[in-house]
Amino acid sequence: MPSESCNVVVLLSGSGSNLQALIDSTRAAPGPARICAVIANRADAYGLQRAQAAGIPTAVLEHPGFEGREAFDAALAELIDGFSPDLVVLAGFMRILSAGFVRHYQGRLLNIHPSLLPKYKGLHTHRRALEAGDAEHGCSVHFVTEELDGGPLVVQAVLPVEPDDTVESLAQRVHHHEHQIYPLAVRWFAEGRLRLGAEGALLDAQPLPACGHLIRS
């Protein structure tokens, strides 16, 4: 359990705007969370440059050369564990993780997903929400379990879908909300307020509702 400081390792594959939000939040309001490493599975992930600009150590582990998902995930876990993480944060890490990897980090692995889970697991969430004619859309932070995009919810940001929304405009607004709720969830965890209990996520020792803590705009 993190006490005075909480070592956070961030995994990403792309732009890393959520990483940037985490960096900015830990700077604007210092707390126990300390991003001690950023690991990418692609050498060209722009998030690596964001980390370097912030003075955070980076590492790259690419899957060619590994025989299968388990072998890659074992090497990834070894790399992560070298940074003694209290929390591992998936921030646009575009790989399906093996069951063994997920179990190893049970209760200390968070993900952000651009939909109001359990709706729209997987890809193309904004398009699917528009095609379904949903009145509301949003994003979710959840503990990671073996079910893809299926673990206990921590916090969701809910926003209205506007009549003239396109996939791009909706994605942009959802992204903006991701940048609010991920730092919040990481801060809760680092402060020891957020835990994964046997029945689901707990905040301040109280069970969160199935949808997590809801933030509406």
The reply to whether 155 sits near ligand GRF by the rule CB under 6 A is no
What is the smallest separation between the CB atom of 206 and ligand GRF, expressed in angstroms?
26
Identified binder of ligand GRF from the candidate list 8, 9, 10, 16, rule CB under 6 A: 16
Residue 113 annotated as catalytic? yes
What is the smallest separation between the CB atom of 46 and ligand GRF, expressed in angstroms?
8
Identified binder of ligand GRF from the candidate list 18, 26, 145, 156, rule CB under 6 A: 18
What is the smallest separation between the CB atom of 90 and ligand GRF, expressed in angstroms?
7
Residue in the block written with tokens 């950023």:
38
The reply to whether 97 sits near ligand GRF by the rule CB under 6 A is no
Among the listed residues 143, 155, 157, the one whose alpha carbon sits nearest the alpha carbon of residue 198: 143
Distances (CA, A) of 93 to 39, 64, 106, 139, 215: 9, 16, 17, 16, 24
Among the listed residues 49, 41, 7, the one whose alpha carbon sits nearest the alpha carbon of residue 26: 7
What is the smallest separation between the CB atom of 178 and ligand GRF, expressed in angstroms?
5
Identified binder of ligand GRF from the candidate list 2, 32, 114, 152, rule CB under 6 A: 114
Interatomic CA distance for residues 89 and 82, integer angstroms: 15
* Number of residues binding to ligand GRF, judged by CB under 6 A: 14
Q: Judge if the upstream peptide bond of residue 118 is cis by omega within 30 degrees of 0.
A: yes
Pairing type for strands 153-160 and 136-143 reads: antiparallel
HEC string of 133-189 equals CCCEEEEEEEECCCCCCCCCEEEEEEEECCCCCCHHHHHHHHHHHHHHHHHHHHHHH
The reply to whether 152 sits near ligand GRF by the rule CB under 6 A is no
The reply to whether 178 sits near ligand GRF by the rule CB under 6 A is yes
Identified binder of ligand GRF from the candidate list 2, 32, 85, 92, rule CB under 6 A: 92
Q: Which residues bind ligand GRF (CB under 6 A)?
A: 12, 14-18, 91-92, 112-114, 139, 175, 178
Just list the catalytic residues. 113
